[in-house]
Structure formats: C-alpha cells, structure tokens
C-alpha cells in the first residue's frame, strides 16, 4: 500500500520524489542510531511520508520562532522546509503566545518507543496525544488503521491530524477528548502509548487494557514501560533513553530549570540527576536527592521503575519493595 501511494505521488504531492529520497536518508540515520531492527517498523518509516504531517513547523532563532512551510513562494525556503522535515529532530508544529503546544517527536525516539511497544498482529492500540498524526500513521501501517485510536484534547489538533492522515491514505479513529480518561468507547486495548508527559499513570488507562497489555508513557524525563495485570495493578521499569515531551494538557508535569544554590553545575547538567530530581521532587529535597544519587553511583534510568497497586502508585530504585521508594500523585 505504501509503494502504491508513493507511485501516486500522495494525491499530487509535488514533494513526493524529493521527500522519498530524504526519507531514505532518515531511515539510514535511524538505523545507525540502533533502531528499526524490526522489519515491519523499518517498512513503516520507509513508506510513511513525514513531510505530509508537517506542512509547516517552527524553528527557533534569535528573534523567536521562524515558520517554515510547504507553500512558501521562495523555492530556497521550500527546500529548507522539506529538508528539515526529514531531519532526525523534533519539530515544533504549534506555538501559542510563544509557548510550544504540540510537536512532531524525534523520529529515532519514535522508533525506539514503537519497537518497545512490542505490538503483534491484531493488537489494538490507543495513542494519547494525536500530534500531527505521524505516529498514528506509523501504527496504522504496521497494524492496520482499524486497530489504531488516537486521542487529543484539542479539537484543532485532532482535525489537523485527521486531515494529514487522510492525505497519506490512513483512516484510524481520531477522537477529541481528555487523554487522561483514555477512550472507553474503543476499549479494550492491548497497548497504550502516550506522546505527552504525565505526573503519574492515569488509572483509567489500566481499566481500559486487556490483561498483559503494555503501557508506554513519558514520566519525569524518562519512558516508563508498564505490564498491566488488571485494572488496579501494573508494574514496569524505565527505558534507558531520556525523553522530554510536552505535558499532558491539564497535567502538572514539571522539569526543574533553575539551579539551586550550592548545587555544582556539572551535577545540575547531568541528565540522570535531572531524571532522579524530577521523579522524587515531591518527597526529596535537592540535598537528599543529591546524596542518594552519589551513594548509588549515578544510577541509570533502567534501574528505576513504577508500581501501581490497589489505588497507590510509587516509583522505586532497583526493587519495588526495597528501601528506595517514592509515592507518585494519584492517577
């Protein structure tokens, strides 16, 4: 189906040929990063045209954000837009009052997340955060659009994602709603993947999962992969990679920005310390977090996990029942 769309030029897409070349280069870059080992995901990233999903985006500069778009009358700027659409970087797609509202995630990170989902043929997947629709297109390519649901609280975002998906030839369910509540009308799901940071795991997600489902969500500055036992119980660890996403609308995810007095610059700038500090900021002050970080020899993300059980959830280091555990806000 992807090859046919490319021959058809994506409904007259003037950038299809140049986009296909740029897409092949992007796939090679993602492969070099160590992702796309699964042939099915390799095919999805090879076939789905990212530029269709980012007809305009913003790049930051000294004077603020600059908009690049496919309809620019300047050929050089149009070429710059197309090249940028296939760089392995996140792209800011909506900015309001100088604040980033939504973006298209870094493709290599998307590939890591999709492979971590470990989907199987016939799985039903719920995506929280529709974004541009690009991730839903990749899922639709792999599983079939009838198995994919994507939800976003912003009607403008879902309308735009639905349009992009249709242009690329995919028609999953694109719904407007509060992602923290999941999508009960399309449940149950075998996989849930969020593309926005949450302060804790929404219990509604677990209630809409089949037993043994997987939930992958950004939390703190990492990616948490949970195995669901039932609607009240789930447990899992963080992936090794760092991840910075826009917060779930209405959520209270925070990333510390100001360096506390007395904290060395090299510690503040350490990505692993920032992860620990954000994960534990409700229960540990900076000095306590630093002491733990040093005592445990700068622990990697994959040593941390989260348990959801009986209406409580907590983060932990190494062992859910061990000495290092911190409550998370109620989901």
Percentage of residues in the chain having pLDDT higher than 90: 77
User: 254-293 pLDDT, tens per residue?
Assistant: 444 556 666 777 787 889 999 999 999 889 998 899 999 9
- 139-143, 187-191, 217-221, 250-254: range with lowest mean pLDDT: 250-254
Gap between the Cα atoms of 251 and 301, Å rounded: 22
Predicted local confidence at residue 249, as pLDDT = 65
Predicted local confidence at residue 3, as pLDDT = 39
Average pLDDT of the chain to the nearest whole number:
90
Mean pLDDT of 41-58: 96
How far apart, in Å, are the Cα atoms of 28 and each of 2, 113, 214? 18, 18, 28
Predicted local confidence at residue 114, as pLDDT = 98
Gap between the Cα atoms of 15 and 12, Å rounded: 9
Predicted local confidence at residue 95, as pLDDT = 80
Predicted local confidence at residue 11, as pLDDT = 44
Q: Which of 103, 104, 105, 220 is catalytic?
A: 105
Domain at 2-235, CATH homologous superfamily: Vaccinia Virus protein VP39 (3.40.50.150)
Gap between the Cα atoms of 305 and 277, Å rounded: 15
Cβ count near 269 (within 10 Å):
10
Task: Tell me: pLDDT of 250 over 70.
Answer: no
Predicted local confidence at residue 120, as pLDDT = 97
Predicted local confidence at residue 296, as pLDDT = 96
Nearest to 58 by CA among 96, 83, 95: 95
- 96-105, 217-226, 252-261, 285-294: range with lowest mean pLDDT: 252-261
Task: Tell me: pLDDT of 135 over 50.
Answer: yes
The verdict on whether 105 is a catalytic residue reads yes
Predicted local confidence at residue 14, as pLDDT = 78
- 24-33, 73-82, 96-105, 206-215: range with lowest mean pLDDT: 96-105
Q: Where in the sequence of the chain do the CATH 3.40.50.150 domains occur?
A: 2-235
Mean pLDDT of 25-43: 96
Predicted local confidence at residue 329, as pLDDT = 86
Report helix, strand or coil for 82: helix
Percentage of residues in the chain having pLDDT higher than 70: 92
Alpha-carbon dihedral 183, 188, 191, 194, rounded to 10 degrees:
10
Model confidence at 82, in pLDDT bands (50, 70, 90)? very high
Mean pLDDT of 124-134: 97
Task: Tell me: pLDDT of 253 over 70.
Answer: no
| Contact criterion met (CB below 8 Å) for 104 and 50 | yes
């Amino acid at each position: 189906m992807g090859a046919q769309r490319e021959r058809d030029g994506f409904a007259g897409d003037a950038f299809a040929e140049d986009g296909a070349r740029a897409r092949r280069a992007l796939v090679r870059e993602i492969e070099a990063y160590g992702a796309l080992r699964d042939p099915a995901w390799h095919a999805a990233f090879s076939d789905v045209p990212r530029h269709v999903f980012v007809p305009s985006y913003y790049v930051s500069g000294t004077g603020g954000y600059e908009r690049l778009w496919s309809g620019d009358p300047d050929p050089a700027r149009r070429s710059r837009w197309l090249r940028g659409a296939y760089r392995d970087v996140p792209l800011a797609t909506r900015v309001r009052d100088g604040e980033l509202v939504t973006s298209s995630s870094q493709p290599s990170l998307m590939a890591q997340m999709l492979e971590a989902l470990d989907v199987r043929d016939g799985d039903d997947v719920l995506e929280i955060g529709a974004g541009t629709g690009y991730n839903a297109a990749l899922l639709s390519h792999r599983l079939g659009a009838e198995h994919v649901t994507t939800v976003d609280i912003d009607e403008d975002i879902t309308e735009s994602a639905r349009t992009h998906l249709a242009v690329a030839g995919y028609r999953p369910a694109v719904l407007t709603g509060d992602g923290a509540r999941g999508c009960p009308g399309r449940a149950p799901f075998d996989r849930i993947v969020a593309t926005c940071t949450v302060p804790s795991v929404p219990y509604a997600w677990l209630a809409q999962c089949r037993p043994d489902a997987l939930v992958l969500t950004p939390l703190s500055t990492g990616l948490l992969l949970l195995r669901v036992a039932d609607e009240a119980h789930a447990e899992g660890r963080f992936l090794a990679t760092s991840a910075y996403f826009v917060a779930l609308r209405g959520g209270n995810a925070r990333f510390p920005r100001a360096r506390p007095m007395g904290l060395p610059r090299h510690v503040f700038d350490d990505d692993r310390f920032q992860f620990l500090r954000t994960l534990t900021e409700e229960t540990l002050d900076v000095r306590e977090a630093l002491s733990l970080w040093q005592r445990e020899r700068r622990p990697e993300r994959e040593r941390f996990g989260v348990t959801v059980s009986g209406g409580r959830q907590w983060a932990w280091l190494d062992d859910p029942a061990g000495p290092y555990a911190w409550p998370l806000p109620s989901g």
